[in-house]
Structure 1
Amino acid sequence: MIGTELLVACVVLAVTLAFGLLAHEWAHAFVLRFGAVEYTISYLPNRGRGLLGSLRSRPWAVVRPHPTGTDPPWILRAAALAPLVLAVPALGLVATGYATEGPPVVTAATVGWLACAIPSPRDFSVAFHAHRALRDSLEEYDSCSFRTD
């Protein structure tokens, strides 16, 4: 019985991580769309060969904003930190005690979901240096708009 319960918890953890990864990237995209900033989402952008190569490649998903340089930096900062909102339902399960005292499957799902709610180091970099990214994109935008190719 314990072996089956552990196997099910591991499968639930893996599935929760997959859905949490999608929710993490969509949280970024939602804020960018709300702020009218163009973006692209890439899944498995540095994909290796085969299933194992795809799983070993990093990152698994990327949201790339395409700001014009005139966008306010708070939009990029909010988009970078948006995945923190994903922690709210998991923290609700923890506060009620269901995630800690409930079945191991619920604990595994909660841990996986909370792992996806943590902004990555790249997200924190964007949050702290959004003004530089906007300045660089403005310089790039200006140089492209005056080209006469």
Structure 2
Amino acid sequence: MIIHTTNFFKVVNMIKKIFLLLIILLFSVSVAFATNMNDLEIPHDFSGKKADGKYFIPKAYDNPRFIIEEVNDNSPNFKNSSLYGFWPSGEENIYFFSNHQVSDMGGIELIEMDGKKYTVSVLYASTLIDEDYLQDSLKYLKEFNQKNNITPIKP
């Protein structure tokens, strides 16, 4: 009788482990499919949505802007073109940028969601390259990534 009881408890424990594994697997799959562009959380200093929820303005003033845009083949993003220059920020796959007249500057990264690629950028309007603005843009992008469990990809 003792041998049968021991086997019974082993089977029950194995069923519990399998059931727990199935619950974890189901939860993981549902989280992976649940995230889309409309579910993204933006950094705490921004509010207000424009252009289908992809353009955010700051809460306090009109500088900087937080922008999420789908990448298309004609986009100059991450290419040192005649309009913009890009350089590494020190964080993997996050870059700083400015136009050559230094009226636009900030941080930018590339992410992939639902099989599409998007740029996420923090844009400041400034008449000179301001190191504080660059560091703030990096801080906002890192906060965005952390809130949404996103890792930027290589452009």
TM-score past 0.5 threshold: no
User: Which structure: greater helix fraction?
Assistant: 1
Q: Which has the higher contact order (CA 8 A, sep 6+)?
A: 1
TM-score of the aligned structures, taking structure 1 as reference length: 0.34
Rg comparison, structure with higher value: 2
Give the TM-score taking structure 2 as reference length.
0.33
